[in-house]
Structure 1
Amino acid sequence: MGLMWLRKPVLWHSSRVATFNFAGLTEPQKRILVARWHNWYTADWDYGQTTLAFFCAAILASAIVNLFARFRARATPVAGKTKGPGFLDKATAFFRYAGARQFHVRTTGWYAPPLAALIGVAGMYMFTMVLMLAARPFYWPNDRMGHSPPLGTRAGWISIAIMPFMIAFATKVNFVSVLTRTSHEKLQVFHRWSALLMYVTSLVHTFPFIINNVRLGLMEVSYNGSPWYWTGVAALTYLVALSWGVFRNPYYETFKKLHYVASGLFMAALFIHVNFRLTSWDYFWATAAIYAVAWLARVFRTLYTTGLGLPATVESVGPALIKITVAAPSRFKWAPGQHVFVRVLGLGVHALTSHPFTVSSLRGPDAQSVELVMRVRGGLTRALAGRAAGKAAWATRVVLDGPYGGLHVPLAKYERVFLLAGGTGATFTVPLFAALAAEIKAGGASCARVEFVVAVPDHDTYTWMESAVAAAAAQLPADAVGVRLHLTRTEDSKVDASDPAVGALHGRPVLSEIVREAHASAGKVAIVACGPDGFLYDVRNAVADAQLLIADGFGACTDLFLHTETYRWGSPP
């Protein structure tokens, strides 16, 4: 096939001066050739910039909705208010229903993203299909009109215009997160589906050229003599095919490394493929800028906050549970509920990987301890458990990248707060509980009662958080706090019965009943949940049902806020 080289001279943009040959064309064919949505020389404006405008408008709309939600959350509830939901409350509940509702395909075990995310993905798909397929014809009725079929041209520009957003959705630091206050892991669904959409438009771009060349008997010559017929799709096929969970999750670390390699090959191949046609390379500069800013921001922040490593200890804190305690400087700051990516040095091949864990401790004013509690599964956590086995603690050094995520609404502004945790999901809710209890004790908070509900297999699994939960509960009077401990696997009776703040129950919590209790408890209620997929599925759909009650005007609750955190968005470490 020969080597792939760019055409000479290499330019930033190719010429936009039209060189149409109208010989042998009818008048209607001449008019359509220069018309908007058909003119090859303005296709980048018509389709590429229109796609950019759509994604930018969608992100801006999400930012406005998020800004409204933040202002609403900060509003202080009116004491003694008994009036039911108003129009604004009902409208908000309707939109929140979409944010809470979730579907589960039992035959495959797949938990779908929330309905709001599915609607967003469907919106991307519908926009792309309409923009790509609305204009006719798909092929030129006369071969003299050009060698680029209209369908192939427009699909190519739509595909390349998706690329900067697809990369932005994937990076941990990105402008979408900044504008919408949405943590990076929640944007992964849009990264994956925009990549699939880019793949679909790439195929639609490719096949019309193949059909034309087969029809004209030029396919073999074009394939052998021009790299532009095959450089655009091969790497993207690999990226999309192996990114599905059935391939990704079992071998996540291998997948991640190969994904980076394949992404680099794809970008290089596509860069050659478009060959500075019109403004095609502008999209590469935008993509490179988005990725470079994200990478440099992470690198410089990590070097500033943790340098080349911080002293840490690893110890066992329960059945299949380990805790990393990092001595962090005061310049490393985080808020309750945020997570960090941890790279453990001195752990062999695992030092080359980093994994996300929620910080389960609160930040102090000076020198502080960053505590990370994790369940032992495979890979990194199994290696850490092996190093800590048989000893009080194993000393090492770690690098922390973060923090990321967390809540962006003040829980203290709600009359009732319910914190729900399944297993090690308590690493997210325990610091929120402690911080909220301290804020209520200090005065100035609207919150009148906090309910902390945690489900663990047995009391030994509860031990690591017991002192923190008890200390937080002790800051509040008995009528302002409730702790419910659900022991799901044993008839364990190790809980201190003298502590009235802790109610030990046996069996799994009925989450739908807890949500109904929350909905009936006050006018302004917040529910925060973290746990396995099934746990969050039950909470989400129970809250969705409650949102419909608010939208219908039933009950005294006018504002029911939900925030959920999942265990993982890739594969468990």
Structure 2
Amino acid sequence: MGRMWLDHPVLWHSSRISSGYNSTVMTLEQFKLIRSRWHNWYTADWDYARATVYFFCAGIAFFILVNILFQLGQRTRLFRKAPLYSKVIAASRALGSRQIYVPVVDYYSPPLSAVVIVAGFVIFFAALTFAAHPYVWPNVAMGHSPPIATRSGWISIAILPFLLVFATKVNLVGMFTGVSHEKLQVYHRWTAWIMYITSLIHTFPFIVQNIRRGEMVENWNTSSFYWTGVAALVPQTWLVFMSWGPIRNRYYETFKKLHFIASGIFVPALFIHCDFRLTSWDYFWASAALYGFSWFARYGRTLINGLTSDATLEALPDNMVKITVPTKLKWRPGQHFFVRFLDLGIHAASSHPFTVASLPGSGAEKDGGRNVIEIYARVLGGITARLGAVAKSGGLKTSRVLLDGPYGGVEAKLDAYDRVLLLAGGSGVTFVVPLLLDIVRGSKSGKTMCRAVQIVWAVRSIDALSWFDDILSRAVKSAPEGLMVSVSYYVTDGSTIIDDAASTSTKDEKVVADDVISKHAGRPILSGIIKEFCAEQGTVAVATCGPDSFNLDVGNAVSECELAIVRGKSVCSEIYLHSESYSW
């Protein structure tokens, strides 16, 4: 190569003193244009990169304010009596509950609220990229960098810190907005796509311009900007296309490892490509600080959680594994840990998220005062296949583990609502069971306003009911006076159900909230269950965890009920929905 990777001497910022222009071969209008805002190469970072930062910060600040108002409303209940408040909240939650399914490509959209936010990203960055004219200088003396390439490059660089923050587990955005890390993944993926598109818009004008001028070979051989740009664009292309849902979900173990490797190539290559032009490296320092904080916080907490935890593995019916870990840690119902199994060979190289199905203190009496983390995992592939094989073997049935967490959980206080509906599909029951147990526990101590809880659990086979049958039965029996608890099982494989607590029912039978445990054959009609549950006065909280199709039906049914509140056609005054997915 004709020069070093970086210009020397290496500086923090490059100079803003304009040079290389020959004003004598430009018209007065052209000279004024290259010195004006939104067109001046030497202030393009202020115009475009800072605009990108301000846009993201304004959006984050808005949702911080929303979170503060939500938490204030949860604690004081001051706003709930205001009709306007109820309608505004219901309208926003209707948008947050609704999803779209595209059967042709088997695609489940994120909630429409996320779609609207992403659409806002697209509109803003499209306007920022294409609003200013011209896209290419009419006079070669006005500069070597095409204006549209300059601005899109700065937009790409400024997106980088936010893209990385949205991907982290200890997430500063999530801490202040109250949104758990897994729900921010949608913004990580879409900002990655936007950055990729703006990177392409940055790249191709240079290629076209240099081919037209016959300078492509010379610039490739003499300027590191061209080949370092390609060195960054290749792994970036891999990152965005291999993160496509069907590929990511099917080959997740491989995807995760290669994703980190490709990122480790992309960011340094982009760093070298920028070559400290203006303030470009500031965005890398910010990225390093934000990502570094998350990394040290996460692994530091793992060390604090302890290096001596032991997990016991137990095989359960219907291809499930129960993982039990005695610990001194505490967590909230619905939260999850990332667990690293140190004695499972290659799987020790990565950690995996598992929802805790127990409450702190639930096993304290029988485990020397320690809390007991209980995890139920369905055996599919990768780590769960290995766990299943170990649990079924006659040999090792324990493993040392590292615990990273807890994370997630339900943002709202469910026991602050008059009635709570908990819905689960398959192993999603591990998320809703601790929510039920927590409400029952709180009701015994008089710390809850909830007066009725209904849990609906759909499973593929009747054998699966054994996972939590005893726990749910005890929860129903131990519920104090004033709290009605009902449990409805649905077995979807077509088995005939003989129920000791209630008469045999079919899949279209109406489910009534009462202190009973009922069993049903067939799939639950979720829309009917939800609409009936929301047909009484008061406030309602709904929590769901299941397959994508299950959560979609729940979310769309809740959205319909929210719209009824907006139209003034519902006696229910407020509905809160928390939706948890199997994966993200």
* TM, length-normalised to structure 1: 0.95
Shift of 1:140: 1.1
Map Cα deviations across residues 183-202 of structure 1 (whole Å, 9 max, x no partner): 11111111111001000000
Cα offset for 1:396?
A: 1.7
SS in structure 1 at match of 2:167? coil
The answer to whether the Cα contact below 8 Å between 1:458 and 1:492 also exists between their aligned partners in 2 is no
Per the alignment, residue 111 of structure 1 pairs with 108
RMSD: 2.0
Q: Distance in 1 between matches of 2:460 and 2:127?
A: 51
Where 1:249 maps in the other structure, the secondary structure is helix
| Separation in structure 2 between the aligned mates of residue 96 and residue 74 of structure 1, nearest angstrom | 19
Q: Which residue of 2 aligns with 1:282?
A: 282
For residue 503 of structure 1, the aligned residue among 518, 534, 542 is 518
Do 1:77 and 1:524's aligned partners in 2 also have CA atoms closer than 8 Å?
no
Deviation at 1:508, TM superposition (A): 1.0
1:270-291 deviation digits (Å, cap 9, x = unpaired): 0110000000000000111111
Q: Distance in 1 between matches of 2:324 and 2:220?
A: 58
Deviation per CA, 1:421-479, whole angstroms, max 9, x where unpaired?
11110100000000011111211321111111111123321112122212222222486
Matched, 1:414 2:417: yes
| Whole-angstrom CA distance in 1 between matches of 2:538 and 2:227 | 60
8 Å Cα contact 2:340-2:348 kept in structure 1: yes
User: Aligned partners of 2:273, 2:125: CA distance in 1, in Å?
Assistant: 22
Aligned residue type for 2:476: A
- Provide the residue aligned with 2:345 in structure 1: 348
C-alpha distance in structure 2 between counterparts of 1:32 and 1:566, whole Å:
52
Deviations 1:397-440 (A, max 9, x none): 11111111001211111011001111110100000000011111
Superposed, 1:423-434 pairs within 5 Å as: 423-434=426-437
**Alignment-mate amino acid for residue 41 of structure 1:** Y
CA contact (8 A) 2:498 2:519 kept: no
Task: Select the residue among 520, 527, 536 that pairs with 1:521.
Answer: 536
Tell me the CA shift for residue 174 of structure 1.
1.6
Consecutive unaligned residues of structure 2, counting only runs of 5 or more, are: 503-513
Of 172, 184, 188, 1:187 maps to 184
Q: Does 1:435 align with 2:428?
A: no
1:107 CA displacement: 1.2
Residue by residue over 1:307-331, the C-alpha shift from the partner in whole angstroms, topping out at 9 and shown as x without a partner, is: 2x41110001222011110111x2x
Q: 1:40 to 1:272 in 2, by over 3 A?
A: same
1: CA distance, partners of 2:577 / 2:22? 61
What amino acid sits opposite 1:325 in the alignment?
Answer: T
1:145-156 matches, cutoff 5 A = 145-156=142-153
CA contact (8 A) 1:77 1:446 kept: no
Count of aligned positions: 562
1:460 aligns with 2:463: yes
Conserved 8 A contact 2:156-2:198: yes
Aligned to 2:511: none
Deviation of 1:522 (Å) = 2.9
Q: Which amino acid aligns with 2:7?
A: R
Say which of 464, 488, 492 aligns to 1:488: 492
CA distance in 2, matches of 1:39, 1:478: 70
Superposed counterparts of 1:26-425, under 5 Å: 26-76=27-77, 86-232=83-229, 233-307=233-307, 309-328=308-327, 330=328, 332-364=329-361, 366-391=369-394, 394-425=397-428
> 2:507 aligns to what?
none
Q: Secondary structure at the match of 2:468?
A: helix
SS in 2 for 1:454: strand
Does the 8 Å contact 1:486/1:508 carry over to 2? yes
Q: Which amino acid aligns with 2:543?
A: V
- The one-letter code of the counterpart of 1:28 is E
Deviations 1:75-133 (A, max 9, x none): 4499xx9x9x8122111111111101100011111111110111111111110010111
Superposition deviation, residue 230 in structure 1? 3.3
Runs of 4+ more than 4 Å apart: 1-4, 75-78, 390-393, 492-496
- 2:492 partner letter: T
CA distance in 1, matches of 2:4, 2:431: 51
1:449 corresponding residue in structure 2: 452
Higher relative contact order (CA 8 A, sep 6+): 1
What are structure 1's unaligned runs of at least 5 residues?
Answer: none
- Relative to 1, partners in 2 of residues 1:265 and 1:551: Cα closer, same or farther, differing over 3 Å? same
1:534-549 map, 5 Å: 534-549=549-564
- Deviations for 1:509-563, whole angstroms, at most 9, x for unmatched residues? 1100111012212321100000011100100100111111111111211111000
- C-alpha contact 1:274 1:280 (8 A) present in aligned 2: yes
Query: Contact 2:497–2:521 at 8 Å: present in 1 too?
Result: no
Matched-pair contact (CA < 8 Å) for 1:160–1:280: yes
Contact 1:313 1:325 in 2 (8 A): yes
Higher mean C-alpha displacement, 395-404 vs 60-69 = 60-69
1:558/1:537 Cα in 2 relative to 1: closer, same or farther (>3 Å)?
A: same
